[in-house]
């Protein structure tokens, strides 16, 4: 969200890697081609919209790109080339073999440009990224989340993006003014304006959620407050 984004990990092994802006120049990049050839859709990421809305008259959206786990080194080279075409580079990958058997995800925030007058431009920011084994899981009340401002230039950490176990049915975000926001699990797969739900992007080993603090307050804490035993 910003270079100073806050990371909160409760009862977990720390699978959420927080990053700065997507244009950070000191990030080490793997040796992949800068462009990607025409590839079947199966080589692209699964783009999962997590939440979208309008705040102060400006549109915002949070989404996650989930890349499948390559089967072998040759397959990993193809996936890395495809990632480069999207401008996405897994930070912990130095050689294609590092990607084999692992799912890569990149969470993004896009917001309407304050200076834009025709609605055709937005600011795109990388919130977090990580590389995890394809069979990785969270369990119980494990929750991993990053907080930061909703719009570039804002100071209050109002936006919270994180993931939980597939069994989580409810997440509660607490704000510094003493209020809370409760997020329930998505039952229908619809994405509606200003609707926050726990969602399951295809290919992700975790469920994801987004919380937004009311204007005038900021992030305090987050916890799983409801789960199933399945």
Tell me the per-residue pLDDT of 33-63, one tens digit each, with 9 for 90 and over: 333 333 344 567 877 899 999 998 999 999 9
> Which range (25-29, 40-44, 186-190, 208-212) has the least confidence?
25-29
**CA distances in angstroms from 216 to 154, 155, 177, 212, 213, listed in the order given:** 12, 11, 8, 12, 8
Is the pLDDT at 204 greater than 60? The verdict is yes
What pLDDT score does 192 carry? 83
Q: Residue 101 and residue 98: Cα distance in Å, rounded?
A: 9
Where does the chain show beta strands of DSSP type E? 6-10, 46-55, 58-67, 102-112, 122-133, 143-148, 159-164, 168-175, 180-185, 197-198, 207-212, 219-227
What pLDDT score does 132 carry? 95
Q: For the chain, what percent of residues have pLDDT higher than 70?
A: 77
Provide the pLDDT confidence category of residue 29 given band limits of 50, 70 and 90.
very low
Is the pLDDT at 17 greater than 60? The verdict is no
What pLDDT score does 24 carry? 35
| Residues β-bridged to residue 162 | 145, 209
Nearest to 208 by CA among 217, 195, 199: 199
What pLDDT score does 70 carry? 95
> Which range (1-5, 97-101, 121-125, 212-216) has the least confidence?
1-5
Please give the mean pLDDT across all residues of the chain.
82
Q: For the chain, what percent of residues have pLDDT higher than 90?
A: 64
Is the pLDDT at 154 greater than 70? The verdict is yes
Provide the pLDDT confidence category of residue 194 given band limits of 50, 70 and 90.
confident
Tens digits of residue pLDDT in 77-121: 999 999 999 999 999 899 999 999 999 999 999 998 765 545 556
pTM of the model: 0.79
Classified as helix, coil or strand, 50 is strand
């Amino acid at each position: 969200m910003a270079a100073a984004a806050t990371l909160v990990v409760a009862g977990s092994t720390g699978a959420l890697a927080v990053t700065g802006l997507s244009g950070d120049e000191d990030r080490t990049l793997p040796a992949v081609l800068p462009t990607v050839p025409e590839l079947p859709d199966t080589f692209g990421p699964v783009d999962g919209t997590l939440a979208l809305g309008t705040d102060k008259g400006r549109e915002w959206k949070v989404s996650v790109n989930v890349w499948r786990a390559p089967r072998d080194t040759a397959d990993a080279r193809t996936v890395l080339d495809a990632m480069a075409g999207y401008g996405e580079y897994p930070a912990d990958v130095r050689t294609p073999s590092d990607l084999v058997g692992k799912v890569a995800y990149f969470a993004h925030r896009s917001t309407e440009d304050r200076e834009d007058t025709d609605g055709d431009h937005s600011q795109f920011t990388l919130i977090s990224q990580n590389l995890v084994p394809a069979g990785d899981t969270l369990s119980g009340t494990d929750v991993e989340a990053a907080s930061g401002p909703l719009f570039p230039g804002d100071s209050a950490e109002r936006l919270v993006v994180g993931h939980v176990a597939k069994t989580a049915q409810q997440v509660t975000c607490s704000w510094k003014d003493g209020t809370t926001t409760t997020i329930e699990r998505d039952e229908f797969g619809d994405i509606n304006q200003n609707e926050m739900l726990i969602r399951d992007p295809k290919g992700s080993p975790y469920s994801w959620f987004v919380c937004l603090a009311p204007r005038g307050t900021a992030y305090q804490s987050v916890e799983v407050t409801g789960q199933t035993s399945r």
